Amino acid sequence: MSRNKQVSETHLLGLLLAVVGGFLDAYTYLCRGRVFANAQTGNIVLLGVNLTEQNWNRTFYYLMPIFAFVLGILVCEIIQTYFKWKKKLHWRQLIVLMEIFCLIIAGFLPAPALDTPVNIMISFVCALQVEAFRKMNGNTYATTMCTGNLRSASQQLYLYITTRQKSYLHNCLQYYNVILFFILGAGAGSFFTGIFHTKAVWLCALGLLAAFIAMFLNREESL
C-alpha cells in the first residue's frame, strides 16, 4: 500500500526553508536596523516596555510588525481554505509565491529610510512561512525560529536515551539538522548582506523559488 507524500512536508524542503529563515534573521539584523523580524517575542516585550514608559512612537513601531505577523497567519489560513483542493497548484506554492513577491519588493527599498516597512514585510513573510510549513515527516517544526525546534529535539533525545527506540533518535537528528541549517542560513545572510547589502534578500527569493519548483514533485512512500 502507498500514499502520496507531499514534498512540502519532507525533511529536505524543511532544510531549504530553514536556510531562508536564518538568512532573513541575519539580513534584518545587519541591514535593516538591527532587529529580528522572524519571531515576535522580542517585539511584544519591547511593546510592553514602551507602553509602560508611555513612549507612543516606539509603541507603534513595535506594534506594526506584530500586526503584520497576525495578518500573515490570517492570509495563510484564507489561502489554505480556498485553495486546498486545487490540483494544478498546491496552496503552499501560492504562499511561497507571495513570499517571493514581498522579498523582491523589499530588495528595492533603500536602507535605512525604509527599514521599518521592510521589517514589517519580512514579519508578514515569516508568518506565512511558519504557518504554511508546520510539519516535517509528521512532526511539528518551524523554519523561521529555533526555540520550538530546540525543545522538540531535546525531548526526542531524552526519549531515545530512556527507550532506545531509533525513531526518537531519527526525529532528534532531523530537528538538530533544521537548527544547523538555520545557523548556516544566518551565516550566509551575514556574508552576502556584507556584499550585496539590501539586495541580498533576493537570494532568499531564489531559495524560495527552488522550493516552489520542488513542490511540483510527488513521491510515493510505502506504508
Closest CA to 188 of 170, 175, 174, 201: 201
Cβ atoms 172, 160 nearer than 8 A? yes
pTM for the structure as a whole: 0.91
- Which pLDDT value is given to residue 134? 94
Low-confidence ranges of the chain (pLDDT < 70): 1-5, 218-223
> Per this entry, what is the length of the chain?
223
- Is domain 3-217 classified as CATH 2.50.20? no
Burial class of 195 by CB neighbour count within 10 A (0 to 12, 13 to 18, 19+):
exposed
Cβ atoms 122, 28 nearer than 8 A? yes
Domain ranges of the chain: 3-217
Nearest-angstrom CA–CA distance, 133 and 81: 15
Closest CA to 192 of 13, 24, 15: 24
Nearest-angstrom CA–CA distance, 103 and 32: 13
Indicate the average pLDDT of the chain: 91
CA 80 to chain centre: 17
- Which pLDDT value is given to residue 204? 97
Cβ atoms 127, 142 nearer than 8 A? no
